[in-house]
Chain A
């Protein structure tokens, strides 16, 4: 079945370390997205990519970086510059503005 796979499900990071969250899709979707969710809050857009080798900053891109070298993959790196990285991270993809998103199951990142 087609879908989006995020890994790992839980991730612990020491302060000052960079960490990379994986997101892979086999839906052949052009666009991919990263969102952050804090407890009791809605989703906030970090980065998005409409095509391979191109991506745009969302509303809260500071302290994060992404790459889009393959259509299927859109990894997110949380850098040490991100002051409050503990959150639930969601990856999504979709094909065109009319169609809905397909979300992954998320990665919960905790800084220890």
Chain B
């Protein structure tokens, strides 16, 4: 199964942009890159996904490297409510494999 690598934790100041990296060197041509976030004691929440081109939605932006071996989730202005664990996942088959994700801490 496809594996992703993320830093264990990151910190950001409130109202500043945050760039969360993800490496996925074994990605195949048909794998979609999905990002989720999870607040304590809640189910993960969908954030964004993409295949080759950069993607934007109301929550975030997803920048995908040209070789697709890495991607970056961009939160344009971090708020305290963005403090969560962020998971980067490759959708290869009918199931995801979750890693331990990146715990984002937002400082007021």
Contact = CB atoms under 8 A, between A and B. Distances in A.
B99 interface: yes
- Interface band, chain B: 20 to 34
Contacts of B99: 42
A77 to B, nearest CB: 20
A58 B41 contact: no
Contacts, number: 50
A41 B42 contact: no
A104 B91 contact: no
Interface string A50-89: 1000000010000000000000000000000000000010
Nearest to A98: B32
Interface residues of A, number: 25
Interface in B9-46: 32, 34, 36, 41-46
Interface of B: 32, 34, 36, 41-46, 49, 87, 91-101
19 contacts: A42-B87, A42-B98, A42-B100, A43-B44, A44-B98, A48-B94, A88-B41, A97-B32, A97-B91, A98-B91, A100-B46, A101-B44, A102-B46, A103-B43, A103-B44, A103-B45, A105-B42, A106-B41, A106-B42
Given A42-B99, A45-B95, A97-B32, 20 more contacts: A31-B94, A33-B95, A41-B100, A42-B98, A43-B44, A44-B98, A45-B96, A58-B95, A97-B91, A97-B93, A97-B94, A98-B91, A100-B46, A100-B49, A101-B36, A101-B44, A103-B45, A105-B43, A106-B42, A108-B41
